[in-house]
Amino acid sequence: MKSSNRGKGGRRIIRFVADALTGRLGVIAMVVGYSACAFMLLAYVSTKVYTYSLMEDISACERKQRVLKEKVGLLTKRYAELSSMDRVTEICEGKLGMMPADAGRLLRVSIDADWSPNGIHGDLGGDGVGFPGAADRGIDEITEVIRR
């Protein structure tokens, strides 16, 4: 019985709106009916426009994000190229005149008489040379001691 009442209530609302829009209920009801329809239509259109605007903004942000991800990839690749071991070795040896370090060619220089490579005070061992007071000396004197 409730479903029949619901059906009758829906028909009454539709008939009321139709009578209001056709002018059977009077001018005031007709103005209110048309205003309600205009408001609903305006709300629907503004919602659609706002949704379209948001979708455009989202699409633009996604495009910017893709471009930035590509830039990050390119910059990462460029960083890897610039910091590669071969490139750094080439610059160090070619442009700066540095020599590759071999463990057998390393020479430890102590500027403190009590320092040792083993961390124990005393003898520097066979691969080191002591040079106390190096802080007061020039680079030429330090280089001369290393050459010896």
pLDDT digits over 10-64, tens only? 788 788 778 877 878 887 877 887 888 889 999 999 999 999 999 999 999 999 9
CA angle at residue 22 from 21 to 28, to 5 degrees?
A: 60
The runs of H, that is alpha helices, within the chain are: 2-22, 27-82, 85-90, 139-147
Check residue 67 and give its pLDDT: 97
Higher pLDDT, 6 or 77: 77
pLDDT at 3 over 60: no
Mean pLDDT of 125-132: 55
Q: How far is CA 77 from CA 71, 74, 91, in A?
A: 10, 5, 19
Provide the β-strand partners of residue 129.
109
Closest CA to 113 of 128, 135, 136, 132: 132
| The model's pTM | 0.42
Report the distance separating Cα 17 and Cα 22, nearest Å.
9
Instruction: Identify whether the C-beta of residue 110 lies closer than 8 Å to the C-beta of residue 129.
Output: yes
* Cβ burial 13-29 (10 Å sphere, 16+ → b, else e): eeeeeeebbeeebeeeb
Check residue 127 and give its pLDDT: 54
Check residue 1 and give its pLDDT: 46
Average pLDDT, the chain: 77
pLDDT at 110 over 90: no
Mean pLDDT of 67-87: 93
Given pLDDT bands bounded at 50, 70 and 90, which one contains residue 124?
very low
Given pLDDT bands bounded at 50, 70 and 90, which one contains residue 86?
confident
